[in-house]
A and B are shown apart, each in its own frame.
Chain A
Amino acid sequence: MIETGIPKLDEYLDGGIPTGKSLVYLIHPGVEGDVFGMQSLYHNLEKGVKGIYVTSTASPHAIRDRFEELGWDLNSHRDHLIIVDAYSALIGQDSEERYLVEDPEDTASILKTVEKALEENPRGLLVCESLSNIMDLAGEEDTLQLLQDFHKVLVLYDTVSICNFTAWPYSDETIRRIKDELFNAVVKVGGIAERVIFGQYYGVSKVDWTQTKDATMLFRVIKPGGVKAFIPKILVTGPYHAGKSTFIHSISTRAVSVNRLGTTIALDHGHIEHRGISADIFGTPGQERFDPILKLLGGEALGVFLVVDSTQPTSFPRAKTMLELTKTFGLPTVVIANKQDLSGAMKPDDLRDRMKLPRDIPILPAVATSKTGVTDAFEMLLKRIMEGL
């Protein structure tokens, strides 16, 4: 079994990748997915596993520098690291590597060199730095055929393979075969987008040696350090006395509030652990005298809960103003129609009409005091955050 070395991922894969199996990191363009392959390689070098790295977009020197930037010294693993240089010949550069692909645009030339490297260094991990780049150079059909040939030799040499593949707009058939046919496991590495990509996530979308787990992790690439599971910031805002603090305490695994006489005067903070996702949640005060700090509290939030008291329509204009004051207008938002247990509480549809909210902003009924509807709300907001992918 070969571990990926990516936080939580080996758990999702039931320990890692079995010998002879293959995994692809299917990467949304613009997302730092290439670090995944590098991290998997380095993690295994550290464990004494032999690693073959097929580079196709950078010289072996540049690759070593890239690893170093991430805090990973390849020099201490000289005995176990084998670089297949499928780049230098492309730009007419000299290469000192033992395994040099003579024609990086020809899949037969790549296969021949990789096979030689595998034959001399069996029973390890092969990482392809950029399968999409090989596809760009050699064509879609030839590269798909190359993958089939790869898998035959991988089994022959008891090796596990991991490929980075950036999902540029290739033909639907190519993407389908990458996703469905040519790998034993597919890990989607995507971006959370509204107007720009502002967060990154990964999750297993296919695995054939264990049951696929419906789990996603948000991540950041830290230099040095590599891929780290990212805990997003979720903001809870809304008018005074809407039930924000109660909502945070009811949704959180643990929470703390800075309050005076039962009113939040600085912020609420909670931490959620839910279905493999960790999240930090911050609540704003609702009184107007705290407006100057709202923008600070809203900074870098990934999603927003707007909590309103369903029995107080006069507070609805203030609720919309708070989205603007926290500078979170336009972020994925879920409106919590709180206090549904009280008489006179408006139903979500009536509340939508009254607040003139667009149809694409979900409004969920909730009773924060009894934790009713809060889990649904969290799942809905996560879904909204992921919808931009």
Chain B
Amino acid sequence: MSDYKLGIPGLEEVVPVVKGGTNIMLIGPPMSGKEVIANNILYSGLAQGESGILVTTSMSGEDALKWFKDNGLDLEPHKPRLGIVDCMSQTIGLAIGDTENIKRVSSPVNLTGISVGITNFFEDFWMKKQVRKARLCVYSLSTMLMYSNLQTVFRFLHVFTGRIKTADALGIYVVEQGMHDDATINTLKQLLDGVLEVKVENDSCFLRAMGMSQKPTKWYEYEVEGSKINIKYSYVRPAPP
């Protein structure tokens, strides 16, 4: 069984590794730096020689690559192990084809196409490139839920969380807090093993992990600086239920 490091300094002191086959929901309000957290987790894997698959529903594959470049995260040495399933470009009518690293899907409603894109990258990395550790990041489930109903997204997630377990990989699924009711979030959580939860209070961002250590971690205050997540080690007592 493989172990995965999340690549977020500070948090790794309490969650040093995540077991292979784990599926994690990354949930938080808009503008709280979820994208940076997700990209850090993905990049951390690439830097350790793993493969990384990013499903983007609200940004083109090229823009996703540009984000890494603009933030000083060099993807060049890792490109043979990087795959992006771009559900955005064709939705807005851009007639661009696949590249070595980017597979296009007609729209976020095309879950069959997304599943084919992910599967093709998994096969390529596992069989041809012989890379045995993989991270999948879906950014975001919320966009999928805007195009498809909960039951449909649940079925999709059911299949792919199972594939992550079988492949001993790591799955990260980003959810926008405030866009969905509690019942929706709880339904999706049924399929997942852990949660990285983000909250914003008094203009400060906090992060905690649940389901990846014996009990939920404390809330860590953090700042986003470019591509970096700086944990500040201060503690805020969780709000009473």
Contact = CB atoms under 8 A, between A and B. Distances in A.
A69 interface: yes
A201 to B, nearest CB: 14
B231 interface: no
Given A30-B116, A34-B113, A168-B156, A66 B123 contact: no
Contacts of A66: 106
A130 B112 contact: yes
Interface stretch (B6-14, B73-81, B147-155, B213-221): B147-155
A197 B122 contact: yes
A151 to B, nearest CB: 23
A136 B116 CA distance: 17
B200 interface: no
Interface in A60-112: 61-63, 65-66, 69, 87, 90-91
A354 B172 CA distance: 44
B97 A169 contact: no
Given A29-B159, A193-B166, A195-B168, A57 B109 contact: yes
Nearest to B168: A195
A132 B128 contact: no
B119 interface: yes
B126 A136 contact: no
A62 to B, nearest CB: 5
Contact of B107 (A32, A58, A327): A58
A186 interface: no
Given A27-B112, A169-B158, A195-B167, A300 B127 contact: yes
Interface string A198-237: 1000000000000000000000000000000000000000
Contact of B119 (A31, A59, A91, A136): A31
Nearest to A66: B106
Contact of A34 (B112, B128, B167): B112
Which of the four size classes fits the interface of chain B? 35 or more
Contact of A196 (B97, B111, B123, B151): B123
Contact of A133 (B110, B127, B151): B110
Interface string B74-117: 00000000000000001101010110000000110111110110
B112 A196 contact: no
Contacts of A159: none
A133 to B, nearest CB: 7
Contacts of A62: 90, 106-107
A196 B167 contact: yes
Contacts of B110: 57-58, 130, 133
Contacts of A87: 107, 109
A300 B126 CA distance: 10
A185 B151 CA distance: 28
Given A62-B90, A170-B155, A132 B119 contact: no
Interface string B107-151: 101111101101110110011101000000000000000011101
A166 interface: yes
A327 B130 CA distance: 9
A198 B163 contact: no
Contacts of A191: 119
A327 B120 CA distance: 21
A168 B163 CA distance: 13
B123 A197 contact: yes
A136 B93 contact: no
A136 B152 contact: yes
A133 B112 contact: yes
Interface in A317-359: 327
Nearest to B154: A169
Contact of B115 (A30, A61, A164, A299): A30
Contact of A198 (B97, B127, B156, B159): B127
Given A130-B112, A136-B148, A198-B126, A30 B119 contact: yes
Most interface-central of B118, B155, B168 (chain A CB within 10 A): B155
B122 to A, nearest CB: 5
A58 B127 contact: no
B118 A30 contact: yes
Contacts of A130: 110, 112
Contact of B106 (A33, A57, A136): A57
A170 B151 CA distance: 9
Contact of B112 (A63, A166, A193, A197): A166
25 contacts: A27-B112, A30-B115, A31-B119, A57-B112, A58-B106, A58-B110, A59-B93, A59-B106, A62-B90, A65-B95, A65-B97, A69-B97, A87-B107, A132-B112, A136-B151, A168-B111, A168-B152, A169-B155, A195-B126, A195-B166, A195-B168, A196-B126, A196-B127, A196-B166, A300-B128
Which 10 residue pairs across A and B have the least CB separation, nearest first? A58-B106, A30-B119, A57-B110, A136-B152, A168-B155, A166-B112, A30-B115, A196-B126, A196-B122, A62-B106
Given A58-B106, A65-B95, A137-B148, 13 more contacts: A30-B118, A31-B119, A32-B116, A57-B112, A58-B110, A65-B97, A69-B98, A87-B107, A130-B112, A133-B110, A196-B126, A196-B166, A300-B127
